[in-house]
Amino acid sequence: MSKEVILQNILATAKATAEKIVSEAEQNCDGQIALAEKAAAERLAAAQEEAREKAELNAARKRKIAELDAKKLTLGARRATIERAYALAAEKLTALPDDEYRKFIGGLIVKYAEPNDTVLVSKRDEKRLTADWLSKIGKGLKLSLAVSKEFTGGVILRNAFCDKNLTVEMLVAEVRPVTEAQVAALTEA
């Protein structure tokens, strides 16, 4: 065999081996690329699913917060309405026509006054709850009259032992625990 034939044999074998190595490398590379693409697609799908779940959870949280905020606003409005209802009740009592108001306050004085009490009336009421009026309703009790700036309506019966707070504010506060559930029910409608 001549040198040239041996050289061609070596070259052919080297070429075949090189082609085989390149082909195997390409196949191996293609397989690894396919595996990497598959892994990347799986990671992408998992990340998208996680992002979707987080978005749903975030949306649910925001909905819940919005619902709670709406309930807080509603409750605040209901509380304000209830407060306003009791304030209006007090205003209506003090705004009764003079005869009705004197009859109402007179009934309280007759029921709760003791001999020698001082009847404190508000500055607002001093012209309609007068000493003459008091002497007519408190016959035999020897009641005296004084004016106070501490309250807006009703009276305080004061003696050496105690004060009886019959102010409009106190009367409304006394009925509030009994009536508040009914008033609150009216605000739900």
Predicted confidence (pLDDT) at residue 22 exceeds the cutoff of 90: no
Looking at residue 4, what is its pLDDT?
80
Looking at residue 88, what is its pLDDT?
92
Looking at residue 162, what is its pLDDT?
94
By CB atoms closer than 10 A (0-12, 13-18, 19+), residue 128 is middle
Instruction: Give the pLDDT band of residue 1 (cuts 50, 70, 90).
Output: low
pLDDT, one tens digit per residue, over 79-115 is 898 899 989 999 999 999 999 999 999 999 999 999 9
CB neighbours of residue 134 within 10 Å? 21
Looking at residue 64, what is its pLDDT?
94
For 9-56, list the strands marked E by DSSP. none
Predicted confidence (pLDDT) at residue 189 exceeds the cutoff of 70: no
CB neighbours of residue 151 within 10 Å? 21
Instruction: Give the pLDDT band of residue 172 (cuts 50, 70, 90).
Output: very high
